[in-house]
Amino acid sequence: MDAIETAPKAHFREYWDRRRILAPVMISPALLYIVALVGFPFVLAILYSLSDATTGNPSIHFVGLRNFATILHDPVFIRSLENTFLFTFVSQALVVVLSSILALALSEDFRGKQVVRFLILLPWTAPISLGAIGWLWIFDSVFSPMDWLLRAAGLLGVPHGFFGADSNLYWLGRPILAMASVIVVQTWRILPLATVILLAGISAIPNEILDAAAVDGASFWRRLFQIEIPLLLPVISIAVLFGVVFTFTDMTVVYVLTRGGPINSTQVLASWAFFVGIEAGDLGQGAAVALFLFPVLAGGTALVLRFARRREVA
């Protein structure tokens, strides 16, 4: 690496060192991607929600806020709205608790840790529709292996069985069990990501702080609740933010497992928007359903990001 060898390249290097040129070049692919795949559909959705477009006649003819007024009087929409909140909050509450336990356990040293880490990440790497189809079989009305286990344990399919005398539980056929099922699958799906985010957060806590807590006489629980969890809060809030946004806006699990049934008892806004807008063809109303929670999500996101930032500076 002598000076003579590097001299001709200096011109290029100088060029690449210029922030004003380099920065836009580097950021443009991401920007293009977002504009094409997020920005454009988003603007289109706003336009549709204010029009009476249908899949048969997608031309935009503005009708003001009529679509929003209509959906607010639709009992299925109200049900979906309630379900969305229930679905999101219960699944994310489970995710927070379970991912914290998992991440704290995985941050300890033990034999086979790498294997366990790999297994926990596995659901995240499999396509969600495939995973959900696997769960469809687990919840099958006739062949459910869970029912089989319960029957083998004598809890199901016998007179006075704990889970009833029927030979099957019909997981996806009963409103409460169906909701519980989609929540379980959504938790299973989001858990790996949250765990990995928290693991990163735990490894960022300086060892000396944990050592200091040990010397200062903190028991396991005191260390957990007064040192580790407070220091992890910004990271936990980010994990929750991701989970909430994914859960609020995604219909895969509901669509594959129940299609919103039975009788809309697991219908969420994302799936209802799809049924109204695409399957029934009312683009305007579908867009209105999909956009309904956008202000709530945007505001919530801004709040969480601000909190995480302020805590991080601390």
Partner 1 sequence: MALVRITGLTKYFNDHKAVDNISLATREGEFLVLLGPSGCGKTTLLRMIAGLEKPSSGEVVIGGRVVNDLPPRVRNIAMVFQSYALYPHMTVFKNISFPLRALKMEKEKINEKVEWAAQMFGIEQLLNRKPRELSGGERQRVALARAMVRMPSVFLLDEPLSNLDAKLRASAREELQQFQRQIGITTIYVTHDQVEAMGLGNRIVVMNHGKVRQIGTPWEVYHEPADTFVATFVGSPPMNLTEQGDVLVGFRPESFLPLEVNQGHGELKQFEFEVSLVEDLGGDRLIYGRLDEQFGRQRVVSRFAPNINFPIEAGRTHLFTVPEGKVKLFDRQTGVRIEKNIPAGEPDGRD
What residues line the site for partner 1 (CB under 8 A)?
Answer: 206, 208-209, 211-219, 222, 226-227, 230-231, 311, 313-314
Minimum CB separation of residue 98 from partner 1 in Å reads 24
Three-state DSSP string of 145-209: HHHHHHHHCCCCCCCCCCCCCCCCCCCCCCHHHHHHHHHHHHHHHHHHHHHHHHHHHHHCCCHHH
Minimum CB separation of residue 116 from partner 1 in Å reads 23
* Residue nearer to partner 1 on the CB measure, 22 or 214: 214
51 φ, ψ to 5°?
A: -130, 175
* Residue nearer to partner 1 on the CB measure, 146 or 213: 213
Minimum CB separation of residue 215 from partner 1 in Å reads 4
* Residues 270 and 253: beta-carbon distance below 8 Å: no
* Residue nearer to partner 1 on the CB measure, 102 or 232: 232
- Helix (H) / strand (E) containing 295: helix 294-313
Unique residue bearing structure tokens 């997608």 = 58
Minimum CB separation of residue 201 from partner 1 in Å reads 13
* Residues 66 and 155: beta-carbon distance below 8 Å: no
* Residue nearer to partner 1 on the CB measure, 216 or 279: 216
Minimum CB separation of residue 99 from partner 1 in Å reads 20
CA distance 33 to 26: 13
Minimum CB separation of residue 233 from partner 1 in Å reads 8
262 Cβ partners below 8 Å, 6+ apart? 172, 173, 174, 175, 178
CA distance 186 to 280: 26
* Residue nearer to partner 1 on the CB measure, 3 or 215: 215
* Residue nearer to partner 1 on the CB measure, 59 or 219: 219
